[in-house]
Amino acid sequence: MKFALHVIHFTLVSRRLWILRVRLINSVSALVANHSFLLTMCDLLKKALNFSAFFCVCISLNVSANECSPQQINESVRVSTVYDGDTVRLEDGRKVRLIGIDTPEIFSKKRHIPSEIKASGQRARRALQQQLNKADMRVGLDYGQQQFDRYGRTLAHVFTSEGINLQAYLIRQGHAIAFTTPPNDRLSDCYMQQEVLARKAKREIWQLEQYQLLQISQLDKAKQGFQRLQGKVTQLKKTSKHITLVIGGILSVRIYKKDWPNFSLHQLNTLQGKRIRVRGWLHKKKQRYQMNLRHSDALTEDLTTN
């Protein structure tokens, strides 16, 4: 029993040191502009944290992926396998789905994946593998408010000991989109900011046709799967179960009652006649299209013509 208590105490100390290290490294990276001072601070960090359960790697001057910091580190783990750009397997057999992002599919039993999408998904997997290799496959997990998905996978924000948020890294490099699934939206604003940077720079997936913004008049060119669309709301329908925005008379954007708290109902009620942009998974039913939205960052008023 005494030994077990020591193990529990050491584990808790290790988790506290992990998040302390991440926060300290991020602070040093943001505030220090002097190379010699940075080296001094790194040396102090190493001395202060050398009894942590994980090795302490001092942040280099070139590391820039320290945005989107953790709220806490719930667990320190080691990865054994990278399935794709947003799913990994731990040494203990659990699967972890990275919260707040989606990378191109590599394999699907349900539908054909275009070669350019599959190739992009493979690059996303390699990018994640490379970051994990640098971290000796050791990461910290910051659980989502909803900790498991319907497949039993652990849902978490994933961080290296250098303070790198792997989701933010993949998004900013153009390997992933930012996509919020409630209630795990704590870092959604930060992830969306990373996506804006990648889109403007036209990195990776943002060069592909599937990820370009389409006018509703171009919907016949759209493929099922993730799409970004814009058009005028021609009809607004509300029932006790859902709100539906009809765009251009052919796209039904549906928001179910359970997700109303994630939107401003006042804003939704004022959208008829306005141009909006939506993003999500497009489904075709007969001659009509449908897209279900779950979070407000998937819908914005279109205030530009770009």
pLDDT band at residue 54 under the 50/70/90 scheme: very low
Reduced to 3 DSSP states, what percent helix, strand and coil does the chain have, rounded to the nearest 5? 35, 30, 35
Q: Which residue is catalytic, options 75, 105, 162, 195? A: 105
CA distance 150 to 112: 24
Residues 6+ apart with CB under 8 A from 158: 88, 96, 98, 139, 140, 141, 142, 165, 166, 167
What pLDDT shows up at residue 148?
A: 98
257 or 303, greater pLDDT:
257
Q: Which residue is catalytic, options 153, 254, 275, 277? A: 153
pLDDT band at residue 23 under the 50/70/90 scheme: low
Helices 2-31 and 35-49: crossing angle in degrees, nearest 10, is 170
Query: Has residue 42 got a pLDDT over 70?
Result: no
90 has which bridge partners? 79
What pLDDT shows up at residue 292?
A: 97
Query: Has residue 39 got a pLDDT over 90?
Result: no
The C-alpha torsion from 165 through 63 and 177 to 299, rounded to 10°, is 80
Q: How many CB atoms lie within 10 A of CB 65?
A: 21
Q: Which residue is catalytic, options 15, 67, 75, 97? A: 97
44 or 185, greater pLDDT:
185
Is 105 annotated as catalytic? yes
CA distance 273 to 235: 8
What pLDDT shows up at residue 172?
A: 98
17 or 105, greater pLDDT:
105
CA distance 167 to 70: 12
Mean pLDDT of 118-131: 98
Q: Would you state the structure tokens that stand for residue 299, as one six-digit string?
A: 């819908």
What pLDDT shows up at residue 19?
A: 54
Query: Has residue 65 got a pLDDT over 50?
Result: no
Q: Where are the alpha helices (DSSP H) in the chain?
A: 2-31, 35-49, 115-134, 166-172, 188-201, 265-269
Query: Has residue 2 got a pLDDT over 70?
Result: no
Q: What is the mean pLDDT of the chain?
A: 84
Is 23 annotated as catalytic? no
Mean pLDDT of 243-268: 96
Is 153 annotated as catalytic? yes
Mean pLDDT of 81-100: 98
Q: Taking the model in full, what pTM does it have?
A: 0.80
Query: Has residue 45 got a pLDDT over 60?
Result: no
- Per the CB < 8 A criterion, the answer to whether 235 and 246 are in contact is yes
Buried b (16+ CB within 10 A) or exposed e, 262-276: bbeeeebeebeeebb
